[in-house]
Structure 1
Amino acid sequence: MRISYKLATAFLPVAFLMLAGCAQTSQMAQNDTGPTAKTAPGLWSAYDATFKTAKYIDLTHAFAPVQPVWPGFGNAKFKAAVAGQDIPGYVSVGEEFTYAKHGFVATAYDLPTDQYGTQLDPPAHWNPMGATISDLPATYSVRPLVVINIADKVAKDQGYYLHVSDIEDWEQKHGLIPEGSVVMVRSDWYKRWDDINSFNETPFPGVGLEALKFLHLKRHILFHGHEPLDTDTTPNLEGEYWLMHNNFTQAEGVANLDKVPEAGALISIGFAKPLGGTGGYARYVAIAPADWKYGVTLADAPGAPLPEQPYPLKRDENGVMRPTAD
């Protein structure tokens, strides 16, 4: 099995540190050094050495009341949450929660479909015997990330499909696709997201059935992802049908793949977990090496405390909370 130099150098330090961390933990247990030990236990050493300085790239569209959606569904509606029952002296049933009166606000979402925005499709989307979103294991968490770029071909033919030959070209440069990885197909279609008519144009870039079979049956990936909201433009959506009836998942509506290295990065996979859900509102984040040109580090965005808004939050005409100058 050939592993690319870039991929190997990206992951060997993590693997080494994980092993070293486990050895340190074992030694600490033997020596009973307790909480005063200076060595980081378990995987914390890998985090300190690699993930603290890594670059993080969000691959996710925020879902909104106005955005592209398959026309068979509808758009979401956002509105202020209201009290569902009386709390004497505090709130009456049907009353909207406000900062001024109650000290907090909340939002109610009317979501006509779980196939909305950046998503993770489980087999149950098409397969009556398939796993639902709440059945997916915790191992859907962090995986190697592969990005196959077909954007140049899509620029010449917007209906271009990923072919097996595109996968083989990637492997000529980077080595075999790692087993259990996530393969994202870059088409740059996501750049049309804010122009709904343009995004919904047909044909759009697809992923061919033979390419899907190759990725799953030959390379044994976890799942693939693409930027449009469908896998292909065939009359029966043959790619999506094959995936779901063979108990595979897929990502749709992915963004920013032009800002991610083709090899050597990881992907963090997060999704809502409604019981028995047939789709998942997903959050995908690429984790790239520290010297990658795009993304933010923990030093750039530590996350706690978060920065305040430039103006107070108010609901716009679609019910979305936005900072608004008076």
Structure 2
Amino acid sequence: MTSRPHTSASTDLITSLAEGSLRVVDLTAPLSSGTPILPLPEPMHPIPRFELERLNDWDDPGEISFQNHIHTGEHVGTHFDAPVHWSSGRDLEDVGSVPAARLVGPAAVVDKSAECAKDPDYLLGLDELKAWEREHGALPEGGWLVYRTGWDARSDDQAAFLNADDNGPHTPGFTAECARYLAEETGIVGIGVETVGTDAGQAFRFEPPFPVHHFMLGNGKYGVTQLRNVGELPPVGAVLVVAPLRIVGGSGSPARVLALTPAAEGK
């Protein structure tokens, strides 16, 4: 009896990566002292900037290694929001409790970058989302909705990224109706955005305030912010890998976010 070579999903994945038919796209913004942060109104505690403090390097007497101390908030740069981050999810998972299987899943990419270029306060509404679903299929069970706005082009400039005036920040987001639908009526596990937070800049005026945080985190779902290179992903067919630090009791964490996408469909 002739034996057949063993094949598996993992060997297929390795082969596809080696042959170049599958690409890895890094969706993570570089993390440095220049990374934009969101100023919070009083009496909320300000988010600290990311900073490195040198502990030792090879040129110090007696040292053979290089190490830094890290100073940062949990919600700085490309980062992950756990349900416990918001009052509506206070009794749900912290970032250290999130099951690893929920951090890897298919990505549905909704591109409204042209609309956002014309209107920085553009909101993705339920009608627009359902139109996308009619064209591309239902949002994936256990997957992620990734919202492309083109906002990553501003992410090296704090002022342009926040785009604030006397009325507050002006950045794209979701309507409250759309946020509730995503949280309560779809099987996605989370939302990924290019902006500083998952809610629109003016979402403090919405009902409820910051509806993406309120509905998504309150329903045990997640958020990922400050993504880059989303324009390299197809509307469907990519797989998202979200890797926050496993911080016990943490409300969130800086994260490395990768996408696996068919090379033929990428840009």
Q: TM-score, normalised by structure 2?
A: 0.85
Tell me if 1:234 matches 2:203. yes
Q: Show the 5 A alignment for 1:128-143.
A: 128-143=90-105
Select the residue among 96, 100, 120 that pairs with 1:158.
120
Q: CA deviation at 1:234?
A: 2.1
3-state secondary structure, aligned to 2:107: strand
Equivalent residue, structure 2, for 1:74: 48
Q: CA deviation at 1:49?
A: 4.3
Q: Show the 5 A alignment for 1:238-277.
A: 238-277=211-250
Residues 211-220 or 262-271, more deviating: 211-220
Equivalent residue, structure 1, for 2:24: 56
Structure 1 pair 187–243 and aligned structure 2 pair: CA distance change class (3 A): same
Equivalent residue, structure 1, for 2:58: 98
- Counterpart-to-counterpart distance in 2, 1:41 and 1:261: 27
Tell me if 1:213 matches 2:180. yes
Structure 1 residues without counterparts, runs of 5 or longer:
1-30, 82-95, 295-326
Q: Determine what percentage of the aligned residue pairs are the same residue.
A: 22
Q: CA deviation at 1:177?
A: 1.7
Equivalent residue, structure 2, for 1:170: 132
Equivalent residue, structure 1, for 2:83: 123
- Structure 1 stretches (4+) deviating beyond 4 angstroms? none
Q: CA deviation at 1:38?
A: 7.2
Q: How many residues align?
A: 245
Equivalent residue, structure 1, for 2:9: 43
Structure 1 pair 149–99 and aligned structure 2 pair: CA distance change class (3 A): same
Q: Is the 8 A contact 2:194 2:227 kept in 1?
A: yes
Q: Is the 8 A contact 1:185 1:226 kept in 2?
A: yes
Q: CA deviation at 1:210?
A: 1.5
String of CA shifts for 1:66-118, please: whole Å, max 9, x gaps.
1210113121221211xxxxxxxxxxxxxx3325652221111111x101100
Structure 2 residues without counterparts, runs of 5 or longer:
40-45, 164-168
Question: Between Structure 1 and Structure 2, which shows a larger proportion of strand residues?
Answer: 2
| CA RMSD after TM alignment | 2.1
- Counterpart-to-counterpart distance in 2, 1:290 and 1:192: 26
String of CA shifts for 1:189-208, please: whole Å, max 9, x gaps.
11101111110112100122
Q: Is the 8 A contact 1:79 1:109 kept in 2?
A: yes
- Counterpart-to-counterpart distance in 2, 1:110 and 1:291: 41
3-state secondary structure, aligned to 2:66: coil
Equivalent residue, structure 2, for 1:309: none
Q: CA deviation at 1:264?
A: 1.2
Q: CA deviation at 1:40?
A: 3.6
- Counterpart-to-counterpart distance in 2, 1:250 and 1:48: 29
- Counterpart-to-counterpart distance in 1, 2:263 and 2:257: 19
- Counterpart-to-counterpart distance in 1, 2:48 and 2:254: 15
- Counterpart-to-counterpart distance in 2, 1:175 and 1:246: 23
Q: Show the 5 A alignment for 1:305-324.
A: none
Q: TM-score, normalised by structure 1?
A: 0.70
Select the residue among 47, 71, 96 that pairs with 1:110.
71
String of CA shifts for 1:10-61, please: whole Å, max 9, x gaps.
xxxxxxxxxxxxxxxxxxxxx9x9xxx8724543332244343301111111
Q: Show the 5 A alignment for 1:18-29.
A: none
Q: Is the 8 A contact 2:107 2:144 kept in 1?
A: yes
